[in-house]
Amino acid sequence: MEQSTTSWVKDVTDRDFQREVIERSRTVPVVVDLWAPWCGPCKQLGPLLERLAAEGGGKWILAKVNVDESPQVARALGVQSIPLVLAFKDADVVSEFVGAQPETVVRQFVERIVPDEARRLIGEALQLAQRGDTAGAEAKLRDVLRLFPENATAAVSLAKLLVDAGRDDDAMKVLDDSTATGAAAAEIEQARAALRLRGGVNGDEGGLRARVEADPKDYRARIDLGRLLSASGRFEEALALLLETVRLDRNFDDGAARKAMLDVFALLGREHPLVDRYQRELSRLLFS
């Protein structure tokens, strides 16, 4: 494993552990990666931690400790298995994990120990919006996304701001550009689904119902009505209407009714009972 050369990644030994980890953690979070050259999982985890430290740009420090070369530190920390990762704040261990973990898990570990600058800036942006300074709020949220491109809360907040201003295309671009992963990515997809459902509906509820009653095969009116019902929170009625439209013509407009149902599923989340019920009915219809 190569020696670390950046200001936010340090190779630490028995000689300087007290200074570089214990004392330094009083001013900035320090993540300690206990590893050894013969450890296979260490070779997977180490580069990931270094990359995340580089992304953090100094918001936290990565201290890499080769346990073979630093037996005193290993004994003091009670190391029994490696890789072992410990997070220090104010001279104390505040979190830890053992073994190579997926990137999403490691990111969440780091996010829990780093001061949440993004949350503070988002709060300031929302206060600007409440005072009517939408331009200032937009600028601040875009600044947050430049600093934290994976922050789903900032992306969704900015998208909502743009939607309220009638800029749906700009809102969708913000969501499409998000680099959020894991649960945060699901939050982005929910916002995208909500935006797709509300966009491009031609007509109001009364007019669309009249069109469907006059011509049950007016598939465009049926789909627009289903999307309109979804946008107003009447999900079961919307899903029933869209499912029947799939049954009547599953290929209309490149499967628009089915796609609208998928957007409703994304909006509700996989744990919602309506999703489980209508996913099964849709699958039965499509594959029977």
Hey, which residues are catalytic here? Answer: 39, 42
In this structure, are strands 84-89 and 61-66 parallel, antiparallel, or unpaired? unpaired
> Which residue in the block uniquely carries the two structure tokens 């600093």?
147
**Measured between alpha carbons, how far is 135 from 78 in angstroms, rounded to an integer?**
54
What is the Cα–Cα distance from 7 to 162, expressed in whole angstroms? 39
Query: Which class for 10: exposed (0-12), middle (13-18), buried (19 or more C-beta within 10 A)?
Result: buried
**Residue 53 is encoded by which pair of tokens?**
């430290």
Compute how many other C-beta atoms are within 10 angstroms of the C-beta atom of residue 273.
Answer: 9
Structure tokens at 81: 């298995």
Q: How many residues does the chain have?
A: 288
The whole-angstrom distance between residue 21's C-alpha and the CA centroid of its chain comes to 30
> How many Å is the maximal CA-CA distance in the chain?
84
> Coil, strand or helix: which one is 203?
coil
Nearest-Å Rg of the Cα atoms of the chain is 26
**In Å, how far from its chain's centre is CA 89?**
25
Question: Measuring CA to CA, how many Å separate 185 from each of 171, 175, 188, 268?
Answer: 16, 10, 5, 15
Nearest-angstrom CA–CA distance, 107 and 129: 30
| Nearest of 214, 288, 213, 215 to residue 250 by alpha carbon | 288
One-letter amino acid for residue 76 of the chain: A
